[in-house]
Amino acid sequence: MTPPPIEFLLYGGALALVALGLAGLVMARHLFRSILALGILEAGANLLLVLAGYRAGGVAPILTPGTLGQPMVDPVPQALVLTAIVIGVGVQALALALALRVHQAYGTLDVAEVRGRMEADTDAAAGLEPETSRDLPAVERPS
């Protein structure tokens, strides 16, 4: 059996990272872990972008006496990914700060529990009974 070609491995790895990140986002029961899964999804997307700019046999896009005149890999996706990585860490820091606030307000980071208590809070703020508001048709709700 011949080993799979290298591009299959690289694209497969990048897509596996994307799929794992998505699965983690959907599956996570803990807000902190969904932030981590977002990071994995982002890493997979970055790898995919850099792969799109790779040129077989090319050299890094930096001019030195040794690389003049040789084919180079595409620099534009690399610049994009550079931007994406730095923005990613900013987004992560903001998400963590918001998660810390949620933890301050509710004392837990369990996704289901936080959602339940948030809905109860909005119901209370709207003046609805906590339990009747969800299952009854809209016309029968106390207004």
Amino acid residing at 112: A
Is residue 3 packed enough to be buried (19+ CB in 10 Å), middle (13-18) or exposed (0-12)? Answer: exposed
| Backbone φ, ψ for residue 30 (5° rounding) | -120, 130
Site string for other proteins, 65-84 (x = CB under 8 A): x------xxxxxxxx-xxx-
Give the C-alpha separation, 126 to 133, whole Å: 10
Q: Near other proteins by CB under 8 A, which window of 86-94, 122-130, 133-141?
A: 86-94
Smallest distance, Å, CB 94 to other proteins?
5
136 contacts other proteins (rule: CB under 8 A): no
Q: Which of residues 89-118 bind other proteins (CB under 8 A)?
A: 89-94, 96-101, 103, 108-110, 113
Q: Which of residues 27-66 bind other proteins (CB under 8 A)?
A: 27-30, 32-33, 35-37, 39-40, 43, 46-47, 50-65
Smallest distance, Å, CB 86 to other proteins?
5
Tell me the CB-side half-sphere exposure of residue 3, using CA atoms within 13 A: 4
Residue 142 tokens, joined = 């106390």
